[in-house]
Structure 1
Amino acid sequence: MSFLSKISIHSDERSARLAGIALMLAGVCMFASGDALGKVLVANYPVNELLLLRAAVPLAMLLTLIWRQRATLPRLERPWLQLLRAVLSTAEVAAFFIAVVYLPLADVITYYLACPIFVTALSAVFLREHVGWRRWSAVMVGFCGVLIALQPSAQTVTWPALIALGGSLSFAVLMIVTRSLRTTPDIVLAATQFAGTFSVGLVLAPFAWRLPGLADLGLFVLAGCISIMALLCTNRSLKLAPASVVVPYQYSMIVWAVMFGYTVFGDVPSTATMLGAAIIICAGLYIFIREQRLGRETAVSPPV
């Protein structure tokens, strides 16, 4: 291979990584925007109504792609696991928006930042992945960050805080299940997630429904559009660049959460929340850096 060809390949790889990072940052920004918009909506509308209308828009947008994949639907691998994934996805979305009714956006995001920590721990138990003592130490440090942010006491451990933490755990288990179903087409995975929240919202809607005005209906549509665009950005990011490169940029979510919380809702994050978030981020980044280093060592090791 010529020198110029090598330069071209490295340039293409670098461009792909930069594009992946840019898409991840854009996706995280859109997710944070959608979360802030959802917090605005659940202040005046039931959570089940948000679940219904927010999921209806992405399903309508994905309808054509779902139709093209219709032949694969009857042959989906492990259908009960597919159903569990949809249930977990619906539970974590519902938990998030229930929690933000009562808690500042930055607080809820802090609990969800612990998800990569939980995934590392759960992957060792359920996927039999090897987790060394360094990563276990990072998991414990991250859990300490959660405890600092939660400030467990009779006064601070409230139901909204526990719901947010439960949502984070649901999201972690969702990631584990998704790893187990990695041969399922991306469109099917996305569609089942939105179908789950849509179904729950549809069942619960008659029990609590407030007819939205035209302006608020537009906000529901906007929330749905943001959610599908954010999902497409993050999925494309993971295809352009290694996960160990782009996933750490998800921690920029806390920056947007604090900014939206302060400018839109007037929330000033507590010192404990910010300290806990910083500890969680450091522990998570260590895990990702460790994974990247181990991946490089494996790649250069000679076969035995």
Structure 2
Amino acid sequence: MSLLSKISIHSDERSARLAGIALMLAGIGMFSLGDALGKVLVAGYPVNELLLLRAAVPLAILLTLIWRQRATLPRLERPGLQLLRMVLSTAEVAAFFVAVVVLPLADVITYYLACPIFVTALSAIILREQVGWRRWSAVVVGFCGVLIALQPSAQTVSWPALIALAGSFSFAVLMIVTRSLRATPDIVLAATQFTGTFSVGLVLAPFAWRAPGLPDLGLFVLAGCISIVALLCTNRSLKLAPASVVVPYQYSMIVWAVMFGYVVFGDVPQVSTIVGAAIIIAAGLYIFIREQQLGRGEAEVSPPV
């Protein structure tokens, strides 16, 4: 291979990584908006109802797109892994909203932001991604920033906390599985995730149902549409770049949490929150700059268009 070809491949890989980071940041921002909206809704509606209505419209849109493109879509790869991914997605969404009903949102977010630690470890073990000590250090520093910012309460030893921790681990495994299914089209990945939450909601919602008014029904639909955008961004991100590179940017969730907490719930950030957010941003920028400089790693498989 010529030197020019090597430079071109190196440049393409670096561009893919940077695009993956940008998409992860966008997806986390949308997820954070959806979480804030979901917290508002679960204050007046059962979690099962949220799972059902939040998934109904997005699933209908995605299945319509899949049906129209069915002739051009490739055969579904690794059905067993697709089913596992659907189960993991449903479990982590349900765990988040069940936990947030009981625990302070800050505590639940703390557990979910442990996800990059899990992903970094699992990506090295399962995906054989190269994770150097610098990236490990940045991930750990970012998590320390989360702890400084959120200051988990004494309730973190309760059973809802264990549910939140299980949800965080499920989300981490979900990221790893998504990375392993890079040949699956984005709309199919998103549709399988919504299928799981819709199915659970459909079975359980009749046991605890509160008829929503038109404004609240619109909020449920909006929450679902936000979730579509968030899922498409994060799924594409995991196709473009190694999981151990992009997942640490989930730490940016704390920045969004501060903003939405102030605008929506009137929460004024404490000094510790600002300090923690600054540490998180610094850790994320370090990984970003490091990837710009190196742009190296395992060979990437180009995602389908």
Same fold (TM over 0.5): yes
Correspondence for 2:302: none
Please state how far the C-alpha of 1:97 moved relative to its aligned partner: 1.4
Moved more, 166-175 or 270-279: 270-279
Aligned CA distance change for structure 1 residues 253 and 136 (closer, same or farther; 3 Å): closer
1:172 lines up with 2:149 in the alignment: no
Moved more, 106-115 or 143-152: 143-152
CA distance in 1, matches of 2:154, 2:145: 19
CA distance in 1, matches of 2:241, 2:138: 24
Deviation string for 1:64-111 (max 9, x for gaps)?
212135468894222111111001111111122122223343443343
Deviation string for 1:28-64 (max 9, x for gaps)?
4432222111101111111111011101110111122
Aligned CA distance change for structure 1 residues 243 and 129 (closer, same or farther; 3 Å): closer
Correspondence for 1:108: 108
- Counterparts of residues 2-41 of structure 1 (less than 5 Å): 27-41=27-41
CA distance in 1, matches of 2:134, 2:241: 25
CA distance in 1, matches of 2:157, 2:59: 36
CA distance in 1, matches of 2:61, 2:265: 31
CA distance in 2, matches of 1:220, 1:196: 17
Residue identity opposite 2:255 in structure 1:
V
Correspondence for 2:231: 231
Deviation string for 1:101-132 (max 9, x for gaps)?
23343443343333233211111111222323
Q: Is the 8 A contact 1:113 1:281 kept in 2?
A: no
**Aligned residue pairs: how many?**
285
Correspondence for 1:42: 42
Q: Is the 8 A contact 2:106 2:152 kept in 1?
A: no
- Is there any run of 5+ residues in structure 1 with no aligned partner, and where? 1-15, 300-304
Please give the root-mean-square deviation of Cα atoms over the aligned residues, in Å: 4.0
CA distance in 1, matches of 2:17, 2:125: 32
TM-score (norm 2): 0.74
CA distance in 2, matches of 1:183, 1:17: 17
Correspondence for 2:97: 97
TM-score (norm 1): 0.75
Q: Is the 8 A contact 1:151 1:157 kept in 2?
A: no
Correspondence for 1:81: 81
Correspondence for 2:56: 56
Correspondence for 1:8: none
1:205 lines up with 2:205 in the alignment: yes
CA distance in 2, matches of 1:48, 1:61: 21
CA distance in 2, matches of 1:20, 1:129: 16
Correspondence for 1:219: 219
CA distance in 1, matches of 2:152, 2:17: 40
- Counterparts of residues 189-200 of structure 1 (less than 5 Å): 189-200=189-200
- Is there any run of 5+ residues in structure 2 with no aligned partner, and where? 1-15, 300-305
Deviation string for 1:218-250 (max 9, x for gaps)?
211121122223334556778899999987765
Residue identity opposite 1:82 in structure 2:
Q
Moved more, 166-175 or 188-197: 166-175
Sequence identity (%): 89
Correspondence for 2:9: none
Residue identity opposite 1:79 in structure 2:
P
Correspondence for 1:131: 131
